[in-house]
């Protein structure tokens, strides 16, 4: 299954780590007035930001939350504690500023780009809502593909174009926070995670919106059905095939956005399980995208750890999640909570004095 030529070109443009900038960042951190490595994971974060941006002392002045909403036909299989109409209702809540992400993004100084990637219900015309019009909701992955490959390509291109537009227009874009909304979207996410990691649905399926034990077992059966329907795919299966068979429209939009941001050396701050599944798809298309991925937190969903490990976003690799709060809200809430921590880290890097500047003796001198 072939990529659109634009997507192929985008994948080919994604750079790997800027090793010289990363080395200079490490050298600067070691010269600051503190014991070496005493800022712990923040130092690894800063070195990775330098590797992503190719800037020794990176700044974040124009962060944005890309919040993609869509519905899923698999909701009809009884896998969510909430009815599908909640997707429409929450989009309306985002528009009036009443959701968690509205409060958290405002506090962190990030604007929200709200996208109707494929909501099944009717939404009002609103200047704060971008509507793609690809289709109303994905197919029921237990019984049919989530979408046609052409629809997957279209959604990915739309996500990429949203990022490119945000980057080129005022106020610009220098950190992309991924966010999602969609009732039942942890089900396609679990299916994608099983395909990419090889883990069984028993390991990748969680309680999502807070389902009970009986519904959890049903959700595992549904993910198993989805995987069996398309021949139990794995990480060698083309990413576009996995996305169109098992994914969702918001996942496709976020995957395309991830590719476009990485191509511009814009760091991508993942939220929870669903946004990480979009990163799995993006990395399946362009492995170098992982240079530009940052994990805001590890959610309460059991499969999230497996997805992060597959992407190399672990503490042992110096790229672990910044927060551990047992979140499972989505909306970009974890990413928005982690953003102030990143802002603080970049200010430390820029504003702390070196031993030489402060006249403080280094232990090695």
Catalytic residue numbers, as ranges: 331
Distance CA 193, CA 276 (A): 9
Per-residue tokens: 282: 């993006």
Summary count for the chain: helices (H), strands (E): 15, 6
Distance CA 49, CA 349 (A): 11
C-alpha distances in angstroms, 143 versus 136, 156, 186, 231, 242?
17, 23, 17, 13, 15
Residue that has been written with the tokens 């997957």 in this structure: 152
DSSP 216-274: HHHHHHHHHHHHHHTT---TTS-HHHHHHHH--HHHHHHHHHHHHHHHTT--EEE-SHH
What do you get for the CA distance between the two ends of the chain, in Å? 60
Distance CA 358, CA 353 (A): 6
Residue that has been written with the tokens 């009717």 in this structure: 122
The two beta strands, 111-118 and 63-70, are parallel
C-alpha distances in angstroms, 182 versus 152, 242, 248?
17, 19, 9
Q: Is the dihedral of CA 7, 73, 186, 93 positive or negative?
A: positive
| Cis status of the peptide bond prior to 37, with omega within 30 of 0 | no
CB burial class (10 A; 0-12, 13-18, 19+) of residue 193?
buried
Torsion angles phi and psi, residue 199, rounded to 5: -75, 150
Q: How many CB atoms lie within 10 A of CB 35?
A: 10
């Amino acid at each position: 299954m072939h990529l659109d030529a634009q997507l192929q070109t985008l994948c080919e443009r994604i750079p790997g780590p800027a090793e010289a900038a990363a080395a200079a960042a490490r050298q600067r951190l070691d010269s600051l007035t503190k014991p070496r490595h005493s800022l712990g994971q923040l130092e690894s974060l800063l070195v990775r930001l330098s590797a992503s941006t190719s800037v020794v002392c990176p700044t974040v002045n124009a962060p944005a939350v890309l919040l993609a909403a869509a519905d899923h036909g698999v909701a009809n299989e009884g896998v969510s504690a909430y009815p599908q109409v909640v997707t429409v209702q929450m989009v309306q809540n985002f528009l009036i500023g009443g959701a968690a992400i509205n409060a958290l993004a405002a506090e962190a100084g990030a604007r929200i780009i709200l996208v109707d990637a494929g909501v099944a219900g009717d939404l009002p015309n609103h200047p704060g809502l971008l509507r793609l019009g690809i289709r109303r909701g994905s197919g029921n992955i237990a019984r049919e593909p989530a979408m046609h490959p052409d629809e997957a390509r279209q959604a990915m291109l739309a996500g990429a174009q949203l990022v490119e537009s945000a980057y080129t227009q005022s106020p610009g874009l220098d950190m992309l926070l991924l966010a999602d909304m969609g009732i039942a979207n942890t089900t396609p996410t679990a299916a994608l995670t099983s395909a990419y990691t090889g883990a069984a649905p028993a390991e990748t399926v969680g309680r999502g919106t807070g389902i009970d034990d009986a519904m959890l077992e049903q959700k595992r059966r549904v993910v198993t059905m989805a995987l069996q329907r398309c021949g139990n795919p794995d990480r060698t299966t083309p990413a576009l095939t996995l996305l169109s068979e098992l994914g969702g429209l918001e996942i496709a939009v976020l995957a395309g956005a991830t590719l476009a941001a990485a191509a511009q050396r814009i760091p991508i701050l993942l939220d929870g399980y669903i946004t990480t599944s979009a990163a799995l798809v993006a990395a399946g298309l362009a492995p170098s995208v992982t240079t530009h991925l940052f994990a805001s937190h590890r959610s309460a969903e059991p499969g999230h750890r497996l997805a992060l490990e597959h992407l190399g976003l672990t503490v042992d690799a110096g790229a672990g999640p910044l927060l551990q709060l047992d979140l499972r809200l989505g909306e970009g809430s974890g990413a928005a909570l982690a953003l102030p921590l990143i802002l603080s880290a970049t200010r430390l890097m820029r504003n702390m004095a070196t031993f030489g500047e402060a006249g403080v003796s280094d232990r090695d001198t």
